[in-house]
Amino acid sequence: MKYLVGYTKNRIAVYVDLTNSQAAPHVAAHPYLLGLAKDALSEVTAKEERLKFEQNAGRPIGYENVVETSPGENVIYAQLVKDDLYSRFTRKGVPKRTNYVSLVIERQGMEYYLLTDAWIGRLKPPRPGSPHETPASRQYWATHAFLLDTQVMQKHSRTEVCPY
């Protein structure tokens, strides 16, 4: 189900798939995320095939669900629902308030962009194993993790062994 989120500063439409995208579970958990995304999109001029950016909303809008971890901390790895990548999780840490929303949009032909991911919080490197993995990805995710109860995981995907 495609839904019009808004328009970029250079008037290109941006849609989101509210069923099958990585943004879908984040929007389901925080419906106001679509309004934040609309505001953020109106401030960006989109020209690239794929654009990843964060926007300061100027006020607290929610809580970060990724925290820094300590060496030797017990972590687990699991796959999120509708995701074949493994993510790192911890039980320790406290969510921090944030003013930031982060978005990932990808051009679909010449007509429009698709919002492929959106979340409350600062921009982060792609997870290891992602097609968009960068040299900073493994380093960042070796010292950061999602808070355990903030994401929906696939059953039977939990492991204590790093899969990447």
Determine the longest span between alpha carbons in the chain, in angstroms: 48
Confidence (pLDDT) at 47: 94
- List helix spans (H) across the chain: 23-29, 33-41, 135-141
Confidence (pLDDT) at 115: 98
Question: pTM to 2 decimals?
Answer: 0.90
- ∠ CA 116-118-122, nearest 5°, is 135
- Enumerate residues 6+ apart whose C-beta is below 8 A from 33: 23, 26, 27, 101, 118, 119, 120
pLDDT band at 90 (very low <50, low <70, confident <90, very high): very high
- ∠ CA 36-121-28, nearest 5°, is 55
Mean pLDDT (the chain) is 94
Confidence (pLDDT) at 3: 96
